[in-house]
């Protein structure tokens, strides 16, 4: 069911009205503007006679609770335009009259003639028999009684211009959230706190993964040694998987002639996301690549291909740049410079199913390795009522069927989203649910009937005639940046041992243990773990052992090995695990055994 049709949506809308009612009682003279439900709650925009502060929210919330408990019936009233005006000016907020009605009157004027005008009224009779009511011009729908609004919280304040126009007056926006049960509300608030602690921008800095510099530019991350190590480990892992699966690596330049991007259609259709054109003296113009695909097209087109050569799979960890609006840049989740784990597969139509199975299998393998086990797929298909699509209907049907069949065969849960395809082909997006229950759209597989057409790609079929291959774009991570952002938040920086930038920190207790610590580090770096040499650091700073332990713990290093006199004598190491704490002294071989399980 769509959120807009759900009970929760109505509940949150009613909570917004309840907030407005509380405001009119506590802040006479406040002018109400609009108060809709939004993704995680609701808000109301209000002009206050004196500036509202965060400290005022608990009082408002208490008033809302009081009003909610009164079990006010929420009733819909349909009225004529004349009645509507009268209600707004005279009755909506008893005693205030026209003085607070500006925004509501403007809203009324904005409703086209002929449209039904409705108010929602929440009213009660008090012990003395006096009728109290609060009416708000609103399309609805709402819940039946304020009593149903029992799990809510006012969250924060923000400024918002009336009608979103900076030329208009700035109003105060009060954000709140509401749920059907107290338990759901508690969980939501808990998750918000957790999300703050896990914010990849904060952790990225604390853990020394990446940084930004105003002198370098907005959205252009600088990868620090630990972050660069993380990238290397991930790249290395995927590269090996790709070699096993018959991919061939290619490398292409950071810039390309505008001619290339005219041919690919990016100059016409993707211009606003591209950095400005660079003119060189010799009448040539270049652009920074926003995508790797056109280069891979050229490589494919450079040779005559036979049906026996297909599929061809070109993979590149391609660094691309896209000019995202500065307001949309978000840490490394949405950067202007990033690296796609890109590949383009050129296949015969009869190979589509097998190739899809291969791609989906690779994606599942990648996510499993990264410890992301809660995911589903969304298959984006044609909007049957539109004719904006390129490629024959038969091809589309075959590709959609192949995508779905691949998901079924591999047991990947999926939903079909009609109209979600690009104009050039159907696609599959992977949606990952993280530890806090948030959805992340990550890896993608995209069938493309457009680029092979534009670049006139061919292969010679068994019938000795030229045929057009189908092209598949795919990126299991989405991008390295986005995936590292997700993993940082998923693990709150405590990456699994195989992925951790530093896997083992050796902590000599005193200077006289430094030499042994260096020797141990060399020995461990010669040890292979998860197909790679162990990543080891030696913390030989002249600090107390307690301080070194604390700091390595904060750096979320999976294991610390502590070396003191007794260890040197007995040939042991003192082991501390990130998860299990002090494990005591043990022989190195015992530790390595433990590490490998
Ligand atoms: Zn409303
Ligand atoms: Zn591509």
pLDDT in tens, 36-60: 999 899 999 999 999 999 999 999 9
**Which ligand lies nearest to the CA atom of residue 475 in the structure?**
2
**Which ligand lies nearest to the CA atom of residue 425 in the structure?**
2
Q: Does domain 3-195 have CATH number 1.25.40.10?
A: no
Residue 395 has pLDDT above 70, yes or no: yes
Q: Which residues surround ligand 2, an ion (CB under 5 A)?
A: 293, 473
- C-alpha distances (whole Å) from 185 to each of 143, 151, 155, 179, 188 are 18, 6, 12, 6, 5
Question: What are the tokens at 356?
Answer: 């899809």
- The arithmetic mean of pLDDT across residues 189-210, rounded, is 92
Alpha helix ranges (H) inside 27-162: 57-69, 81-86, 102-110
Query: What is the distance in A from the centroid of ligand 1 to the CA of 221?
Result: 43
**Which ligand lies nearest to the CA atom of residue 473 in the structure?**
2
Query: What is the distance in A from the centroid of ligand 2 to the CA of 342?
Result: 7
Q: Please give the pLDDT value at position 386.
A: 83
- The model's pLDDT over 133-176, given as tens digits with 9 standing for 90+, comes to 888 999 999 999 999 999 999 999 999 999 999 999 999 999 99
- The arithmetic mean of pLDDT across residues 394-405, rounded, is 88
Q: Which residues surround ligand 1, an ion (CB under 5 A)?
A: 138
- The model's pLDDT over 427-471, given as tens digits with 9 standing for 90+, comes to 999 999 998 888 998 888 999 988 999 999 999 999 999 999 999
Query: What is the distance in A from the centroid of ligand 1 to the CA of 140?
Result: 6
Q: Please give the pLDDT value at position 93.
A: 55
Query: What is the distance in A from the centroid of ligand 1 to the CA of 139?
Result: 6
* CATH assignment of 223-254+291-490, among 3.30.470.20, 3.30.930.10, 3.30.70.270, 2.40.30.10: 3.30.930.10
Q: Where are the domains of the chain?
A: 3-195, 223-254+291-490, 255-288, 504-596
Say what the pTM is: 0.81
Q: Please give the pLDDT value at position 388.
A: 80
Query: If pLDDT is split at 50, 70 and 90, which confidence band does 398 have?
Result: confident
Contact criterion met (CB below 8 Å) for 432 and 439: yes
Q: Please give the pLDDT value at position 396.
A: 86
Q: Please give the pLDDT value at position 435.
A: 86
Q: Please give the pLDDT value at position 64.
A: 97
Residue 22: which H helix or E strand, with range? helix 7-26
Out of 92-101, 343-352, 477-486, 528-537, pick the least confident. Answer: 92-101
Query: What is the distance in A from the centroid of ligand 1 to the CA of 376?
Result: 35
Instruction: Let me know if the fold of 3-195 is the same as that of 223-254+291-490.
Output: no
- Percent of the chain topping pLDDT 70: 98
Please tell me the distance from the alpha carbon of residue 115 to that of residue 83, in angstroms, as a whole number.
14
**Which ligand lies nearest to the CA atom of residue 270 in the structure?**
2
Query: What is the distance in A from the centroid of ligand 1 to the CA of 137?
Result: 7
Query: What is the distance in A from the centroid of ligand 2 to the CA of 437?
Result: 30
**Which ligand lies nearest to the CA atom of residue 316 in the structure?**
2
- The model's pLDDT over 290-309, given as tens digits with 9 standing for 90+, comes to 999 999 999 999 999 999 99
Name, in order, each residue with C-beta under 8 angstroms of 439's C-beta and a sequence gap of 6 or more.
431, 432, 433
Q: Please give the pLDDT value at position 484.
A: 97
Query: What is the distance in A from the centroid of ligand 2 to the CA of 182?
Result: 46
* CATH assignment of 504-596, among 3.30.2130.10, 3.40.630.30, 3.40.50.800, 3.30.420.40: 3.40.50.800
- The model's pLDDT over 333-362, given as tens digits with 9 standing for 90+, comes to 999 999 999 999 999 999 999 999 999 999
Catalytic positions, please?
293, 322, 340, 342, 344, 427, 473
Q: What rounded mean pLDDT belongs to the chain?
A: 93
Contact criterion met (CB below 8 Å) for 142 and 17: yes
């Amino acid at each position: 069911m769509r959120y807009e049709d759900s009970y929760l949506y109505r509940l949150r809308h009613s909570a917004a009205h309840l907030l407005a009612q509380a405001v009119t009682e506590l802040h006479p003279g406040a002018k109400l503007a609009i108060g809709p439900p939004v993704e995680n709650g609701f808000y109301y925009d209000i002009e206050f006679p004196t500036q509202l502060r965060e400290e005022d929210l608990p009082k408002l919330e208490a008033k809302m609770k009081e009003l909610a408990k009164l079990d006010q019936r929420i009733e819909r009233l349909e009225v004529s335009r004349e009645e509507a005006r009268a209600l707004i000016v005279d009755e909506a907020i008893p005693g205030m009259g026209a003085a607070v009605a500006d925004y509501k009157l403007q809203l009324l004027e904005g409703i086209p003639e002929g449209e039904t005008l409705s108010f929602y009224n929440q009213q009660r009779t008090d012990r003395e028999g006096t009728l109290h009511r609060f009416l708000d011009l609103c399309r609805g729908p709402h819940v039946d009684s304020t009593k149903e609004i029992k799990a809510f919280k006012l969250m924060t304040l923000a400024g918002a211009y009336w009608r979103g126009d900076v030329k208009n007056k700035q109003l105060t926006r009060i954000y709140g959230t509401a749920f059907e049960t107290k338990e759901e509300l508690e969980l939501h608030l808990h998750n918000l706190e957790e999300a703050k602690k896990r914010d990849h921008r904060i952790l990225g800095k604390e853990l020394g993964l990446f940084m930004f510099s105003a002198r370098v530019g907005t959205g252009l991350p600088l990868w620090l040694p630990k972050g660069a190590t993380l990238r290397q480990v991930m790249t290395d892992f995927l590269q090996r998987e790709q070699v096993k699966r018959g991919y061939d690596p290619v490398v292409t330049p950071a810039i390309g002639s505008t001619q290339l991007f005219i041919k690919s259609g990016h100059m016409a259709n993707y211009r606003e996301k591209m950095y400005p054109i660079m003119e060189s003296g010799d009448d040539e113009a270049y652009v920074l690549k926003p995508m790797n695909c056109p280069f891979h097209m050229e490589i494919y087109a450079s040779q005559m291909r036979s049906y026996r050569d297909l599929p061809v799979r070109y993979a590149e960890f391609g660094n691309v740049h896209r000019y995202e609006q500065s307001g949309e840049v978000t840490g490394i989740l949405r950067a202007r410079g990033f690296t796609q784990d890109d590949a383009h597969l050129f296949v015969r139509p009869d190979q589509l199913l097998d190739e899809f199975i291969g791609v989906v299998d690779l994606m599942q393998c990648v996510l499993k390795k990264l410890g992301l086990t809660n995911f589903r797929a969304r298959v984006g298909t044609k909007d049957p009522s539109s004719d904006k699509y390129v490629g024959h209907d038969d091809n589309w049907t075959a590709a959609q069927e192949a995508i779905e069949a691949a998901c079924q065969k591999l047991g990947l849960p999926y939903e079909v989203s009609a109209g979600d395809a690009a104009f050039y082909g159907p696609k599959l997006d992977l949606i990952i649910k993280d530890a806090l229950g948030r959805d992340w759209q990550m890896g993608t597989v995209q069938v493309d009937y457009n680029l092979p057409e534009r670049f006139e790609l061919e292969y010679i079929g068994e019938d000795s005639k030229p045929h057009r291959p189908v092209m598949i774009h795919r990126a299991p991570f989405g991008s390295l940046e986005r995936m590292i952002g997700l993993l940082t938040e998923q693990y709150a920086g405590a990456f699994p041992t195989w992925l951790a930038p530093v896997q083992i920190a050796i902590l000599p207790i005193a200077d006289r243990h430094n030499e042994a610590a260096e020797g141990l580090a060399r020995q461990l770096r010669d040890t292979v773990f998860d197909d790679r040499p162990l990543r080891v650091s030696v913390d030989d700073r002249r600090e107390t052992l307690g301080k070194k332990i604390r700091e390595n713990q904060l750096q979320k290093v999976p294991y610390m090995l502590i070396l003191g006199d007794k260890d040197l004598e007995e040939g042991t190491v003192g082991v501390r695990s990130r998860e299990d704490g002090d494990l005591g002294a043990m022989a190195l071989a015992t530790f390595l055994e433990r590490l490998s399980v």
